[in-house]
């Protein structure tokens, strides 16, 4: 049976999943790019973006798990664009260029309707205005027997956790202090929501924590 999973969503040691002051040149907020140093070094990440080389080992294994058996993806609007409100006519198609790394259907939560955007490599961005439940229903249908991955951001993850809709959550903790931004565990009680720590592995670049809902 397919699962709903949060994978490779890295936070700082002080709990932030994104830094402050998001801008075009800082899409993850100030300091946010450093959260993912553990992943961008890996062979799987290099391969995803058409490169060669990269390191193997535990970090690479977790990176690979993040794209294995994923049939559909869910993103908040903030992870797709910097703009707010009605969609501007600016030709924006995401942060990733013409060939995004998803290679499948991506459902973006928004309050403002927009036509789907097909991209190179099999990615299609669909925009969902009816909330997290409808987005998940559409993603499950599109994924078939494969899993649905919730990419983020923090607010989207919090909503799905509060509704107990996430089966598994992989949270790497990077050796980075952000000081402010979007705090993942604000208002979240994992134990009360039924989540238990079922795996933890530490490397020189991250502590990998896996939570499973009982």
Q: What is the CATH number of the domain that holds 68?
A: 3.40.430.10
Q: Is pLDDT at 24 greater than 90 in this prediction?
A: no
Q: Is residue 91 part of a domain?
A: no
Exposure on the CB side of residue 119, measured as CA atoms within 13 A: 21
74-117 confidence digits (pLDDT tens): 999 999 999 999 999 999 999 999 999 999 999 999 999 999 99
User: Hey, is 121 helix, strand or coil?
Assistant: helix
Q: Is residue 137 part of a domain?
A: yes
Q: Is residue 169 part of a domain?
A: yes
Q: Which range marks the domain in which residue 38 is found?
A: 4-18+26-83+100-213
Q: Global pTM?
A: 0.94
Q: Is pLDDT at 16 greater than 80 in this prediction?
A: yes
Q: Is residue 113 part of a domain?
A: yes
Q: Give the count of domains, the chain.
A: 1
Cα–Cα distances (Å) from 48 to 20, 33, 196, in that order, read: 27, 17, 31
Distance CA(214)–CA(208), nearest Å, equals 19
């Amino acid at each position: 049976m397919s699962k709903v999973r949060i994978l490779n969503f890295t936070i700082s040691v002080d709990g932030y999943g994104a830094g402050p002051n998001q801008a075009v040149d800082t899409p993850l907020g100030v300091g946010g790019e450093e959260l993912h140093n553990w992943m961008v070094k890996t062979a799987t990440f290099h391969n995803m973006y058409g490169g060669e080389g990269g390191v193997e080992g535990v970090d690479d294994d977790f990176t690979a798990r993040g794209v294995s058996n994923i049939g559909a993806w869910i993103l908040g609007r903030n992870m797709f664009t910097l703009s707010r409100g009605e969609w501007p006519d600016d030709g924006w198609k995401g942060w990733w260029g013409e060939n995004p790394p998803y290679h499948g259907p991506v459902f973006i939560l928004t309050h403002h309707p927009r036509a789907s955007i097909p991209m190179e490599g099999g990615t299609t961005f669909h925009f969902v205005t009816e909330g997290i439940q409808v987005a998940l229903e559409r993603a499950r249908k599109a994924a078939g027997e494969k899993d649905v991955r919730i990419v983020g951001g923090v607010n989207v993850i919090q909503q799905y956790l509060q509704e107990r809709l996430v089966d598994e959550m992989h949270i790497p903790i990077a050796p980075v202090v952000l000081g402010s931004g979007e705090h993942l565990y604000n208002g979240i009680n994992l134990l009360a929501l039924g989540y238990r720590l079922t795996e933890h592995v530490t490397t020189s670049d991250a502590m990998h924590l896996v939570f499973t809902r009982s």
